[in-house]
Amino acid sequence: MKYIFVTGGVVSSLGKGLTAAALGALLEMRGLTVRIQKFDPYLNVDPGTMSPYQHGEVYVLEDGAETDLDLGHYERFTSGKLSRINSLSSGQVYESVIQKERRGAYLGKTVQVIPHVTNEIKERITVAAKDVDILITEIGGTTGDIEGLPFLEALRQFALEQGPRDVVFLHVTLVPYLAAAGELKTKPTQQSVAKLREIGIQPHVLVCRSEKPIDASVRDKLSMFCNVPVKAVIECRDVDSIYELPIALQQEGLDQLVVELFGLNKPQPERNVWAELARRINNPAHTVRIGVVGKYIELQDAYKSVYESVTHAGIANNAKVEVVRVDAEDLEKRGGTALLKGLDGILVPGGFGDRGTEGKIIAARYARENKVPYYGLCLGLQIAVIEFARNVLKLKGANSTEFDAASPHPVINMMEEQKKIIDKGATMRLGSYECALTSGSKAAKAYKAESIRERHRHRYEVNNAYVGQLQRGGLTVSGINPRRNLVEIVELKDHPFYLAVQFHPEFQSKPLHAHPLFTAFVAAALKQRKPFKSAKAKSKAKAKPKAQAAGAKASKPSTQSRKAARPAKKRA
């Protein structure tokens, strides 16, 4: 068993999660089984109750665990399915320690951070490492945070208990460029490494985020003052697409270094799937414009997996997807649909609360009436049903009881069992459920299957009392939960692509295996635009294969701060 611990220094949002994921991808390519997990020092039990302004997306695992969005990166870059044991917060650690204390499990001892809290953390490392060659553990936050100390102390102890060749500490740090001095500065990194060494951790590898190339003299300096060999100073500059990161790190020798540190004989195979992927990303034959209509549109990370899934579908369709972010509230202002003109497809992602819902309904109506491909995810399905009920079935005031408790036509309603629940945390319909598909439907054709499993995170459902009317009106139910007879997928027959799902397919899409529904949606969007632009787009793509500008920040949401983008006053 080998362990890699990933810490972060100087500032947050350096892309530690992506670094861990990309390293995992490289090690998997060498034939090692890899699992990645995250330790988060905050006191929430999980991020399920946090606002997107605080936390970005909540990523849902197959077993229903609500986790940090970094787990999305881990699942997208590596093949291992993750479960709730791969996500640990201080809140969970303390909850467990306190429960044990109440049970008398500590046999009269004084319960302390060392050893009781640290033991709890170490145990999670051991449990998660079962059956894999390499476990990568990312520690959230930045070195020097008070909250992070018990975790770092636990890692120090753990490393001491293992053999010297079994643990690698990898520190992701910032090497800023000071324009006034015209230099890259190493001092912040020196100081964050000094902080780690103070608590007994000597990093083996430094992954240095930097805007400029790190030359030999800067590498020497980092090596000398941080006490790491020069070849363990890994430069990590911004990449156009996050899926180019594995190759960028490989070129710096990161995976080779790690296998050498572990004394493993696992050479890089000839076929490099990540290099192949990077070539495909950089040579798209088409472009397509997909509008995402949401209320957290200004945040980089709120719809992370949705944006990534659309990118994967673009790769699968040999197209570069331009995501146009549309604020649902802007559509509520008069003449708002102008914002939707020229879009090749419209996607309405998940959401909670009534702010912006009327704007989303406007978008769904526009897509239905103008035959623009529409794809609704979770709330996006509920929106499609409300819109159809109001404007096609003429059910005045049709709504979800989430937005209007007194609606005369509650086409979306809370399940009976949900009505009794008081606690907000981990009480939604969560995780993977079966869905039976109607043969011959668009959904069944896209999945090429009769039964599938998808992940859920919602409290409300389509009200079965209205299903007959909806179907007779032309909104077909093409997927149901067979055990509980719940609507899972709806689609319109006479429309190029109008499909919405009650689940979150975005949690199962990967760059190397795009999700079939996303792929079908982007394909439909591409088809729609063909009469107008395909010839032009083709010649353009030929003349300029590298469509994304180097260093274009907007195309790398991963490196942006999920907290920095938090506006001061907005209703959640």
CA distance 217 to 572: 48
Considering the rule CB under 6 A, would residue 303 count as an interface residue with ligand GLN? Answer: no
Q: How far is the CB of 349 from ligand GLN (least distance, A)?
A: 7
CA distance 124 to 559: 28
CA distance 454 to 240: 30
Paired residues of 172 in beta bridges:
8, 207
Which residues make Cβ contacts (< 8 Å) with residue 210, sequence separation at least 6?
174, 175, 176, 177, 184, 235, 236, 237
Considering the rule CB under 6 A, would residue 8 count as an interface residue with ligand GLN? Answer: no
Three-class SS state of 233:
strand
CA distance 77 to 21: 6
28 is catalytic: no
Nearer CB in complex with ligand GLN: 278/346: 346
Q: Which among 44-52, 155-163, 329-337, 453-461 is the span making contact with ligand GLN, rule CB under 6 A?
A: 453-461
- The one catalytic residue in 236, 378, 402, 495 is 378
Q: How far is the CB of 352 from ligand GLN (least distance, A)?
A: 4
CA distance 240 to 410: 45
Of the candidates 349, 246, 290, 351, the one whose C-alpha atom is nearest the C-alpha of residue 29 is 246
Contacting ligand GLN (CB under 6 A), which of 458, 495, 515, 556?
A: 458
Nearer CB in complex with ligand GLN: 219/458: 458
Contacting ligand GLN (CB under 6 A), which of 42, 94, 225, 352?
A: 352
Q: Which of residues 374-393 bind ligand GLN (CB under 6 A)?
A: 378-379
Q: Which among 68-76, 283-291, 349-357, 491-499 is the span making contact with ligand GLN, rule CB under 6 A?
A: 349-357
Site size for ligand GLN (CB under 6 A)? 10
Contacting ligand GLN (CB under 6 A), which of 195, 445, 459, 533?
A: 459
Q: Which residue is nearest to ligand GLN (CB)?
A: 350
Q: How far is the CB of 480 from ligand GLN (least distance, A)?
A: 17
* Backbone φ and ψ of 502, nearest 5°: -80, -15
Nearer CB in complex with ligand GLN: 21/61: 61
Q: How far is the CB of 506 from ligand GLN (least distance, A)?
A: 11
276 is catalytic: no
Q: Which among 190-198, 337-345, 348-356, 526-534 is the span making contact with ligand GLN, rule CB under 6 A?
A: 348-356
Paired residues of 435 in beta bridges:
452
73 is catalytic: no
Considering the rule CB under 6 A, would residue 66 count as an interface residue with ligand GLN? Answer: no
Which residues make Cβ contacts (< 8 Å) with residue 60, sequence separation at least 6?
66, 67, 430, 431, 455, 456, 457, 504, 507
Q: Per-residue DSSP letters for 465-527?
A: GGHHHHHHHTEEEEEEETTTTEEEEEEESSSSSEEEESS-GGGG-BTTB--HHHHHHHHHHHH
Contacting ligand GLN (CB under 6 A), which of 28, 120, 138, 402?
A: 402
Q: Which among 28-36, 296-304, 334-342, 456-464 is the span making contact with ligand GLN, rule CB under 6 A?
A: 456-464
Contacting ligand GLN (CB under 6 A), which of 56, 176, 351, 359?
A: 351
Q: Which among 284-292, 302-310, 319-327, 454-462 is the span making contact with ligand GLN, rule CB under 6 A?
A: 454-462
Most distant pair of Cα atoms in the chain: their distance = 77
Half-sphere exposure of 457 (CA within 13 A, CB side): 26
Buried residues in 164-196 as b, exposed as e (16+ CB within 10 A): eeebbbbbbbbbbeeeeeeebebeebbbbbebb
Considering the rule CB under 6 A, would residue 295 count as an interface residue with ligand GLN? Answer: no
Q: How far is the CB of 502 from ligand GLN (least distance, A)?
A: 8
Q: Give catalytic residues, as residue numbers.
A: 378, 504, 506
**Positions that interact with ligand GLN (CB under 6 A):** 350-352, 378-379, 402, 457-460
